[in-house]
Structure formats: structure tokens, C-alpha cells
Amino acid sequence: MYSCIIGGEKVISSSGSTFRDVNPADTDEVLAEFPMLTRDDVARAIDFAREAQLRWASTPAPERGRILLRAAQVVENEAEELARTLTREEGKTLSESRAEVSRVISIFRFYGVMGYRLKGDVAPSAESNTHLFTIREPLGVVSIITPWNFPIAIPSWKMAPALICGNAVIFKPASYTPLIGYRLAEALHKAGLPPGVLNFVTGGGSSIGTEMITNPQISAISFTGSLEVGEEIRRAAAAGRGARVQLELGGKNPAVVLDDADLDKAVEMVVRGAFGLTGQACTATSRAIIHEKVYEEFVRKLVERARRIRVGNGLEEGVEMGPVVGEKEMDKILSYIETGKSEGAKLIYGGRRLKEGALSKGYFIEPTIFTEVTPDMRIAQEEIFGPVLGLMRASSFDDALDLANKTEYGLSASVFTKSLQRAFDFARMIEAGVVKVNKPTTGLEPHVPFGGFKKSSYGMIKEQGEAALDFYTRIKTVYLSY
């Protein structure tokens, strides 16, 4: 039985309730049991955080940075074990897990160094003998609520900037992936983070999550997850005291393949974007829009490549696609596949749950490809969050761009072309917060801003890179006359 970490102490729920953490590739394996905290337990955690934050804020920023740099070292020392835990808990392949853990190390290094760079501005004053400058201040206690699909990277890219800026954190992982979140909290404590600065709480989103949003001591909420829950949080936060809110939500990301594209490369990148991480990435490619001149050849090569994807337990050598995270998510994806068929799309590859042999113990779905998808279909508009790709045919660059933009989401998008002109036109005109040229819609570097347009994000301030510092600080302007 694992615990939560509140005020530096290991605690269980005051109700005694717990929940189980199961391997989605083999549901016989129970990895851990975690406390189902109550709202009162979390309210107490917030009190601890409030107290600890005042001391943390007065710790010099370079010293805060040294702790983050040590955390990067702890994660690096434990990287292989963390990657294996991540695969067993979330299901992604071991190489995907290793990449995620390595990103965590970069994130902590990047923000650790930021301890020396939390700068304000100096401006010339219109009055003589006046020094006019700005300083950044922490906000206080921030709530960090994260999904299961990048269960160590997302908490890191929220917590590291929050902590370097002098905030205390209440961190709730998704209930599918508490163990890797616990390991991350443990790494920060091993690195010397003072008690109470980071409080790791587990339990139901709608109970303890609500406390994390409505408690008056919370100054900011950073949430990544579904559009539905995000909208609920936005309403609840607005009805409260008006804490600062940042929501990173879903996507319906297009890959546009133009007639001058390197088709082999485009196929490989579309496969990586659509079926890598089992399609469970907010930036996953869920629509491929292909110029009619290369459509037939692209589809033929795509299906050939999809056929070679080995689906299985992510710990096994050679497996390219792991299970989906849970039964509810698997049923939702299979039901979208039925929807696609009934609304007239043509299923040309996959579409089934895989149950042969050892696969029967997990939540495995074939990579799935539909053709004849049109923009009015639900499978072209709603986030499926699984290994399902819909193909559309475009008659020109303008037509492809128009199809790509026909969605309420705007997270990431790719174009495949050899033309600089078309690449730049696409980058300028696509409605997405991240644009890739000849690269998959997935995959981000941690030191540049990340966030979507339209319904994919809410809040003015991006995550990651230096942009994140703006979310976790407020600016004070000082007029000093001498």
C-alpha cells in the first residue's frame, strides 16, 4: 500500500478508502494500491502548502534551482526503473517510456537553470532620480491536475516552473497512473525539496479535484485533460475566487500530405503520429489529408506499414504499440469505430480488439484506418484518443488547408511538402498552436512554448519554455526615488 505525501509525511485517507493501480497490458498484475483521499484531507494538504510556501518563496531562486537540478540527477539515476514502471502502469512501449523520462530530466535541468534567470525589467523613468523596475513574485499555492497519458512528463512541465518561481504545489495524478507520479514526488523530496512545498494527493477527480479548484487558498490551477472536465473546471474556478486558470485540452490533429511530399517519409511520420503512444497523445495525428494526386499510393503504403506494427506488451522487445490505458477508454474507442462505419466511412484496416493469447489479459486494439472520411462525421470532429486514423482526399493545397482547419480543436498540425513556399503558407494559415513540417504532429521539445488554439486550450499563457514562468508569477512594478 502506497501513501500520499502531505507536509513531507506519508499519509493515507482519513476514510481508509483505497483504489487499485493495474497494468493495462496484463490486468492480473496489480502494481499498487493508493489512498482515496477525502476533500478534507486535501484541504489539510493545502493548509500545509500555504505555510511551506512562505519559506520556499524566501529561499533564493538559485537555491531552488539547485534542488531542481538535483531532482534531474535523481531521475537520471533511476531512469531505467522509472521507464519500466511507466510502461507497466500506462502501457506505452519501453522506448516511448525512456523518451518520456529523458524529457523529464531536460525539464528539470531547464527550469533549474532558470533559478538564475527569473528576471524583471528595468525601464527609464520619466522622472529624475527614479529607478523604475519590475519583479516577479510567486502566486502562492497552485493546483496541478494531470492526465494519465504523459504521467511523468506533464506533471514535471507544470511543477518545475511552479516550484522555481517560489510556489507550493498540490499535485494530483490521474487515477490510472498514481505510481509514476509518486516516484516523481519522491525524486523531488530526495533532491532536498522542503516538506510541504510539494504535496502529492490521490483520489477521485470529482471529489478531491473539486477541492483543489474551489479552495480559497488556491491561487492558480494548471490542468491538462479532456475538454469536458476542462470546461467543468473553468466554470467552477470562475464561480470561486477567480484563481488563475490554465487548461490544456484535446486535439483533432491533421497531417496534410501534399503532392510533392516524400511519400515514404510522410507514411512513416503519419504512422508515428497516429499509432505511436497507441494514439493516446493530445497531439496524435487523427486525420490525414492527402492530395488526390498521391492519394492511392499513400494509402497503399500506409496500410502496408500499419500491417507491420506489432501490438503487445510494451516491455517486450519489438513491440511498436502497447495497449490502451483502461477498459472504459477501450470501449469508447471501439464505439467510435462502430460510429465511423455507421456514418459511412470505409474501414480499410484494423478496427478490432485483439484477444489472441496473452493479449486477452489486456486492452489491445488494432491500428485502425478509415478512408472516405468527411468533415461532418463525428470521427472527423471528436477526439477519439486511440489508434484510429481517418483519411480525407484534397484537390489542392487550399482545399487541404480548409479541411485541416475544419475542427473546433487547434493543438498541433503537420504538413508534408518539399516546397518552402507551401511550408511557410501552411505554418502561417493553419489554426494550431504547434506546426510541424515534414515531422509527425506528436513530439515536443521542452524549452519552447506549448499550447493550442481554439478549444484545445484555455488561458492566455502557454506551458513549457520561458513562457511558463508568466503563468506561475505575477509582476510587481516598483518606482524607487532616490
Active site residues: 248, 282
| Residue 465 region by backbone torsions, left for phi larger than 0, else alpha for psi between -120 and 50, else beta | left
- Residue 45 or 67: the one with the smaller Cβ distance to ligand NAP is 45
Q: Of the candidates 44, 109, 172, 393, which one interacts with ligand NAP according to CB under 6 A?
A: 172
Instruction: CB nearer to ligand NAP: give 286 or 371.
Output: 286
Q: Please select the residue that binds ligand NAP; options are 93, 146, 253, 414, rule is CB under 6 A.
A: 146
Q: How far is the CB of 412 from ligand NAP (least distance, A)?
A: 9
Q: Which of 153, 150, 89 is nearest to 315 (CA)?
A: 89
339 touches ligand NAP (CB under 6 A): no
Residue 253 or 313: the one with the smaller Cβ distance to ligand NAP is: 253
Least CB distance to ligand NAP at residue 458 (A): 10
Residue 412 touching ligand NAP (CB under 6 A): no
**What SS3 class is residue 419?**
coil
List C-alpha distances in Å: 97 to 147, 276, 425: 15, 12, 35
The yes or no reply on residue 326 touching ligand NAP (CB under 6 A) is no
Residue found by looking up cell 494550431 in the block: 432
Burial of 218 (0-12, 13-18, 19+ CB in 10 A): buried
Considering the complex, state which of residue 117 and residue 328 has its C-beta at the smaller distance from ligand NAP. 328
Q: What mask of x and - would describe binding to ligand NAP in positions 201 to 220, judged by CB under 6 A? A: ---xxx--xx----------
Using only the alpha carbons of the chain, give its radius of gyration.
23
The stretch near ligand NAP (CB under 6 A) out of 33-41, 225-233, 337-345, 358-366 is 225-233
Residues 449-478 that bind ligand NAP (CB under 6 A): 452, 456
Give me the sign of the Cα torsion angle 381, 384, 390, 396: positive
Sign of CA dihedral 272, 273, 274, 280: positive
Q: Give the burial class of 273: count Cβ atoms within 10 A of its Cβ; 0-12 exposed, 13-18 middle, 19 or more buried.
A: buried
Pick from 61, 83, 383, 403: which binds ligand NAP (CB under 6 A)? 383
Q: How many residues bind ligand NAP (CB under 6 A)?
A: 30
Identify whether the C-beta of residue 290 lies closer than 8 Å to the C-beta of residue 252: no
Residue 197 per-residue DSSP state: S
**Is residue 149 close enough to count as binding ligand NAP by CB under 6 A?**
yes
Only one residue has cell 496484463, namely 26
- Please identify, using beta-carbon distances, which residue of 271 and 434 lies nearer to ligand NAP: 434
CA–CA dist 207, 362 (Å, integer): 28
Candidate ranges 27-35, 57-65, 142-150, 260-268; the one touching ligand NAP (CB under 6 A): 142-150
- The nearest distance, CB 318 to ligand NAP, in angstroms, is 27
Using CB under 6 A as the binding rule, whether residue 58 contacts ligand NAP is answered as: no
Residue 179 as a binder of ligand NAP (CB under 6 A): the answer is no
Site for ligand NAP contains 233 (CB under 6 A): yes
Residue 324 touches ligand NAP, criterion: CB under 6 A: no
Rounded CA separation 138/255 (Å): 39
Using CA of residue 449, residue 451, residue 453, residue 457, what is the dihedral sign? negative
Positions in the binding site for ligand NAP (CB under 6 A): 145-150, 172, 174-175, 204-206, 209-210, 224-226, 229, 232-233, 248-251, 282, 383, 385, 411, 452, 456
